[in-house]
């Protein structure tokens, strides 16, 4: 709490309409770039034709079945991670909270690696196992917090999440320690994060999860506004703190789990984007979640573009690209906070 009244340039005073407009424009730009750029040079007009089904069959297949699902999946995953992060930051009252702190990534990786270890090859099945693993991990986290503390105390949730995550990592390492090289490679590739294998069914599944779970978060956004004030103030304002925090925590975590299941482990988006949205003036949770979804999509489509062009023809892991982009941004933001 500041004693002196700060006369800071208040970004909150800027109109959020600009932020929305810029975000929408950026999304359009990165999507078009994402559809147009790739190993095979395709002009924008040909891209549009291909989307409509006109042109050379290779080009149509490339645009419609390679680039389009990939770009869309990246956008959906980015939106999902960012809104999940925003909701978790509100629920846990910590602007540095990230979905991966809370057992989601560990659980999903355990699920996927277990499936791969059993020789499961179908991507849809691996995705399902990843999601189930993450869902179980988050339930375990809330159960631990409840058993230990008697309530969904946010500090307990964080600690339980870290513990479950550490346990999951250990389990994965043990499972992979004596795996044959191909399994190991497959597991690592899955974990590194990539939108490269995007297919339309995967896009549909991810969209479904985003609409359902993200929709619940947007619906309950007012509760998040109140929850983020603190346990006592929230209770004073009429929110059943234990029940609502637990519900929102689970929904937000499952949304992150769906993104991990679809595209592997991609960090930083859930941490950084909600802070951007708040800095752009979306302070209350309903606009913040929606703006986070928008900017999360932009960030990840851009990151995916970088991932496949920076060291073409190799495909860099998405998680590494987002970290490389996210860290400098985060340092800038920290300077502002510390100032």
Residues 243-262 binding another protein (CB under 8 A) are none
Largest distance between two CA atoms of the chain: 68
Rule CB under 8 A: say whether 90 interacts with another protein: yes
Shortest distance, CB of residue 25 to another protein, whole angstroms?
26
The reply on whether position 197 binds another protein by CB under 8 A is yes
Taking the CA atoms of the chain, what radius of gyration do you get in angstroms? Answer: 20
Q: Which of residues 147-176 bind another protein (CB under 8 A)?
A: 150
Q: Which of 74, 108, 110 is nearest to 315 (CA)?
A: 74
Choice from 84, 127, 228, 259 touching another protein (CB under 8 A) = 228
Is the separation of the CB atoms in 159 and 146 below 8 Å?
Answer: no
| Nearest CB to another protein, comparing residues 194 and 259 | 194
Structure tokens at 284: 């209350």
Q: Which of 131, 118, 265, 124 is nearest to 179 (CA)?
A: 118
Q: Token match 């007012």: residue?
A: 222
- Residues of this chain, 203-222, that bind another protein according to CB under 8 A: 219-220, 222
Nearer residue to another protein within complex by CB, 25 or 150:
150
Our finding on whether 3 is near another protein (CB under 8 A) is: yes
Told to check if 9 binds another protein by CB under 8 A, we report: no
Other beta carbons within 10 Å of 173? 10
Residues binding another protein: number (CB under 8 A): 85
CA angle 283, 31, 282 (to 5 degrees): 5
- Of residues 25 and 233, the one with the C-beta less far from another protein: 233
Query: Pattern of binders to another protein over 36-75, x per CB under 8 A?
Result: --xxx----------------xx--xx-xxxx-x------
225 binds another protein, rule: CB under 8 A: yes
What is the x/- site pattern for another protein, positions 119-138, by CB under 8 A?
Answer: ----x---------------
CA dihedral 247, 251, 256, 261 (to 10 degrees): 120
| Contact window for another protein (CB under 8 A) among 18-26, 27-35, 236-244, 253-261 | 236-244
* Residues written for the chain: 339
User: Inter-axis angle of helices 154-177 and 104-117, to 10 degrees?
Assistant: 20
Position among 117, 171, 196, 306 found at the interface with another protein (CB under 8 A): 196
Residue closer to another protein by CB (options 37, 139) is 37
Looking at residues 273 to 302 of the shown chain, list those that interact with another protein (rule: CB under 8 A): 278, 283-284
Q: Which stretch binds another protein (CB under 8 A): 17-25, 74-82, 134-142, 319-327?
A: 319-327
The residue (of 25 and 200) whose beta carbon lies closer to another protein is: 200
Closest CA to 97 of 268, 337, 324: 268
By CB under 8 A, tell whether 309 contacts another protein. no
Closest CA to 73 of 326, 301, 320, 256: 301
Under the binding rule (CB under 8 A), the answer on residue 21 touching another protein is: no
The DSSP output letter for 55 is S
Question: Residues 6 or more apart from 211 whose CB is under 8 A from it?
Answer: none
Q: Which is nearer to another protein, 171 or 284 (CB)?
A: 284
- Of the candidates 44, 64, 102, 97, the one whose C-alpha atom is nearest the C-alpha of residue 198 is 64
Q: Which stretch binds another protein (CB under 8 A): 20-28, 137-145, 166-174, 188-196?
A: 188-196
Of the residues 16, 306, 324, 329, which one makes contact with another protein according to CB under 8 A: 324
Q: Both tokens of residue 305? A: 């573009």
b (16+ CB within 10 A) / e for 104-136: bbbbbbbbbbbbbbeeeeeeeebbbbbbbbbbb
Nearer CB in complex with another protein: 75/227: 227
Which is nearer to another protein, 38 or 140 (by Cβ)?
38
């Amino acid at each position: 709490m500041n004693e002196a009244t700060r006369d800071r340039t208040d970004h909150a005073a800027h109109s959020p309409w600009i932020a929305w407009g810029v975000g929408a424009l950026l999304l359009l730009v990165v999507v078009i770039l994402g559809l147009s750029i790739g190993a095979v040079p395709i002009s924008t007009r040909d891209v549009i034709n291909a989307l409509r089904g006109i042109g050379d069959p290779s080009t149509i297949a490339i645009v419609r079945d390679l680039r389009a699902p990939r770009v869309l999946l990246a956008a959906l995953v980015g939106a999902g991670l960012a809104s999940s992060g925003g909701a978790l930051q509100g629920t846990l009252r910590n602007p540095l909270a990230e979905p991966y702190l809370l057992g989601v990534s560990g659980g999903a990786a355990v699920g996927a690696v277990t499936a791969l270890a059993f020789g499961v090859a179908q991507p849809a099945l691996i995705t399902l196992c990843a999601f189930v693993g993450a869902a179980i991990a988050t339930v375990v986290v809330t159960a631990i917090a409840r058993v230990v503390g008697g309530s969904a105390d946010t500090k307990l949730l964080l600690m339980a999440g870290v513990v479950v995550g550490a346990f999951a990592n250990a389990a994965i390492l043990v499972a992979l320690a004596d795996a044959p090289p191909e399994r190991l490679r497959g597991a690592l590739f899955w974990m590194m994060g990539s939108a490269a294998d995007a297919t339309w069914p995967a896009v549909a599944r991810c969209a479904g999860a985003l609409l359902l779970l993200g929709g619940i978060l947007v619906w309950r956004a007012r509760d998040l506004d109140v929850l983020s004030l603190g346990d006592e103030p929230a209770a004073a304002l009429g929110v059943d703190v234990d029940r609502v925090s637990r519900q929102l925590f689970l929904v937000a975590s499952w949304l992150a789990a769906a993104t991990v299941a679809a595209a592997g482990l991609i960090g930083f988006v859930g941490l950084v984007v909600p802070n951007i949205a708040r800095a752009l003036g979306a302070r209350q949770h309903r606009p913040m979640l929606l703006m986070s979804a928008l900017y999360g999509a932009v960030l990840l489509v851009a990151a995916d573009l970088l991932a496949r062009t920076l060291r073409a023809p190799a495909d860099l892991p998405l998680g590494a690209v987002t970290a490389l982009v996210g860290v400098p941004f985060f340092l800038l933001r920290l300077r502002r906070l510390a100032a």
